[in-house]
Amino acid sequence: MICFAAVLAGWASGACRLQTVRGMRRLWSIGWGLMLGHFLAAFHFHHGWSHAHAVAETARKTFELIGWEFGGGVYFNYLFLLGWGMDVALWWLGKEQASWYRWVRPILVAYLVFIALNGVVVFKDGWLRWAGVATTVAIVSLWIRRWPRRGGG
């Protein structure tokens, strides 16, 4: 999530120098790799490679938090990993500037941000939650500061 947040902050600040963009692409890729490792470790050590266990555990945690038993959130996590991986691949292939992807990427990144916020702010507690809140406030502040410059004014 640190790599994820760093790249979002870079985008929000308008970083566009070639060296910076290359560094952001590396961070984005490393972040995805770490998330994949986290996913695989969770399935190996916690769920015993059982999708049914992952769904049941997600339903239990969701019920504890909001009083609604819903295990379908595990599918949103699968989509998160797949979507982020797709973006990593397209960025390395140089397709992030393709006309079709210019409207897809903002939708994809908005989804990734939504899932990341839920994962860190809603489903965590203690210092992780507060770190997620602080990071969110910082990135939103960067976007707000940059917003007037985006319209050419």
Domain range spanning residue 7? 2-150
Range list of H helices, 93-151: 99-117, 126-150
Share of the chain above pLDDT 90, in %: 50
Q: Is 15 left (phi over 0), alpha (psi -120 to 50) or beta?
A: beta
Q: Is the alpha carbon torsion for 98, 34, 8, 113 positive or negative?
A: positive
CA nearest to 55, candidates 82, 36, 74: 74
Q: Give me the chain's average pLDDT, please.
A: 89
User: How many domains in the chain?
Assistant: 1
- What pTM, to 2 d.p., does this model score? 0.82
Highest mean pLDDT among 9-13, 51-55, 120-124, 148-152: 51-55
